[in-house]
Structure 1
Amino acid sequence: MLIVDDDPAIRKMIARYFEEQDMPVVTVPGRQELNQQLGRAEPCLIVLDLRLGQEDGLDLLREIRAKSDVPIIIMTGHRRDEVDRVVGLELGADDYITKPFGLRELLARVRAVLRRQELGRVARQRDPERGGYRFNGWVLERRGRRLTDSAGEPVPLTKSEYALLLAFLEAPQRTLSREHLLQATRIHEDIFDRSIDVQVLRLRRKLEPNPSAPQIIKTERGLGYVFSPAVEAF
């Protein structure tokens, strides 16, 4: 794992904690050292501070993402820096954390991102056109991206609705953050966080008997959304 932060005290603190968790890290202060490390080997994950003195962390994020799919967690300095977080996610960051943060929270976020990466790797190894999911009488077939209701009637889905439903079906009965769903449904470069709420609303209108009182896709206030039915993969 690679930590990019211009504050030596923070680099030392994170490195010591993660090494105690048997997760060795390399720490660097900026672009030059980062590029040197990336030239030697690609890390399993990068934790990137967006405030790097004279350097722009967003520019570094853009450069990394242009040539690598390595998971990236961005660090922002203030909880009100929403623009930086949104732009960072749009540029390809997998998650974010705001300073000051607890090391246990950072560890949890690192493990969650690595877990999602591994699940995605396993899924890509399978035939993406095989199988599907059943829930509450509904059936989603991957081949043809075909959704049918309990009466067997087809229900058309847009590409973003299909991607959103698939994200829910792959992780049922778990709270999924807006950032996670944003990554799962990214189709256009101009998509923003609130558009996830719009996509969820549209999907609810197709799945829920009463979209104003949803029972399938429930809101976890302040956290995200959870797909509540049991899901069977086939």
Structure 2
Amino acid sequence: MTADASLLIVEDEPKIARLMADYLQTHGFGTTTLDDGNAVMPWLEEQQPALILLDLMLPGQDGLSLCRSIRQRYPQTAIIMVTAKVEEVDRLLGLELGADDYICKPFSPREVVARVKAVLRRSQAAQSATLAVDDPNAPVQLNEDGWQAIAGGQDLGLTAVEFQLLRVMMRAPGRIFSREQLMDHMYRDNRIVSERTVDSHVKKLRKKISEVLPERDIIRSVYGVGYKYQPDE
């Protein structure tokens, strides 16, 4: 999902908005430009862009509050924040707001195009993975809103960490995750934990699954490497 994707540029500096629009259009993207934060949510009620380039400082509703509102109402829409305030970067990418990426002013048009393409690729991959997780024929179904894993019609009663582990592996069936990679997904606060902690959580997760699906071994260990989700018999 790159060329022909529809993009929304929210930028109140006309020269910057025109520069981004012109350069993105030459690379095959369709663009719309808005210069007032108050116009964004009404526009989104009528349109569905693949990605929004959202300036931090805007007249009307500011970029931070807009990012939060967009995430709540349109969670599948990718967002790249555009800012001259480097000290805001951690907030822009944090769980509080959930921006997919950021661009700091001043920037080069090539950087904008490269970041847009990269975010769209990730967004498309994530949406495909979500479809795989929601497969009704999978041995385990995930209710991500309720943080539940259902197997054989039963709630497995997973902890938050166990649910995170299962979700990460289910989004990439057959992929082997190292313990370090799994730790990164388990603990977003960068706490220091040992690889044995990962092994302990995986052991508990496998036990809960086997109690409901005794003949299925869907979480498999790969000696010396890590773990993978393998739903096939």
**2:129 aligned to 97, 110, 123, which one?**
123
Q: How many residues in Structure 1 have an aligned counterpart in Structure 2?
A: 179
Question: Partners in 1 of 2:90 and 2:28 — Cα distance?
Answer: 34
* Residue number in structure 2 paired with 1:206: 197
Moved over 6 A (4+): 171-174, 228-232
Do the aligned residues in 1 keep the contact of 2:176 with 2:227 (CA within 8 Å)?
A: yes
Classify the secondary structure of the residue corresponding to 2:80.
strand
Question: Partners in 1 of 2:163 and 2:227 — Cα distance?
Answer: 18
Once the two structures are TM-superposed, the CA of residue 162 in structure 1 deviates from its matched residue by 4.9
Do the aligned residues in 2 keep the contact of 1:5 with 1:49 (CA within 8 Å)?
A: yes
Post-superposition Cα deviations, 1:111-143, rounded to whole Å, max 9, x if no partner, equal 2222222222222323278379xxxxxxxxx97
Question: Partners in 1 of 2:34 and 2:52 — Cα distance?
Answer: 11
* Residue number in structure 2 paired with 1:27: 33
Classify the secondary structure of the residue corresponding to 2:161.
helix
Classify the secondary structure of the residue corresponding to 1:2.
strand
Do the aligned residues in 2 keep the contact of 1:131 with 1:233 (CA within 8 Å)?
A: no
Question: Partners in 2 of 1:143 and 1:203 — Cα distance?
Answer: 29
Do the aligned residues in 2 keep the contact of 1:78 with 1:98 (CA within 8 Å)?
A: yes
Task: Label 1:13 to 1:128 Cα distance change in 2 as closer, same or farther (>3 A).
Answer: farther
Once the two structures are TM-superposed, the CA of residue 231 in structure 1 deviates from its matched residue by 6.2
Post-superposition Cα deviations, 1:85-111, rounded to whole Å, max 9, x if no partner, equal 255x42232222222223333223222
**Aligned pairs (5 A) from 1:1-234:** 1-53=7-59, 55-69=61-75, 70-86=77-93, 89-126=95-132, 127=135, 130=138, 158-160=159-161, 162-163=163-164, 167=168, 195-198=188-191, 201-202=192-193, 204-207=195-198, 233-234=230-231
Question: Partners in 1 of 2:126 and 2:136 — Cα distance?
Answer: 11
Once the two structures are TM-superposed, the CA of residue 5 in structure 1 deviates from its matched residue by 0.9
Equivalent residue letter for 2:79: I
Among the aligned pairs, what percent are the same residue?
33
The alignment's TM-score, normalised by the length of structure 2, stands at: 0.59
Q: Which has the larger radius of gyration?
A: 2
Task: Label 1:73 to 1:125 Cα distance change in 2 as closer, same or farther (>3 A).
Answer: same
Task: Label 1:32 to 1:80 Cα distance change in 2 as closer, same or farther (>3 A).
Answer: closer
Question: Partners in 1 of 2:61 and 2:188 — Cα distance?
Answer: 30
Do the aligned residues in 1 keep the contact of 2:129 with 2:171 (CA within 8 Å)?
A: no
Question: Partners in 1 of 2:106 and 2:226 — Cα distance?
Answer: 37
Post-superposition Cα deviations, 1:53-86, rounded to whole Å, max 9, x if no partner, equal 4542112122222321222111221323345425
Question: Partners in 2 of 1:51 and 1:143 — Cα distance?
Answer: 44
Question: Partners in 2 of 1:104 and 1:128 — Cα distance?
Answer: 42
Q: What is the RMSD of the two structures over their aligned residues, measured on CA atoms?
A: 3.8
Post-superposition Cα deviations, 1:162-208, rounded to whole Å, max 9, x if no partner, equal 5257547857699xxx9xx99x77xxxxxxxx94412xx43634358
The alignment's TM-score, normalised by the length of structure 1, stands at: 0.59
Gaps of 5+ in 1: 133-141, 145-156, 186-193, 209-227
Classify the secondary structure of the residue corresponding to 1:72.
strand
Question: Partners in 2 of 1:56 and 1:206 — Cα distance?
Answer: 42
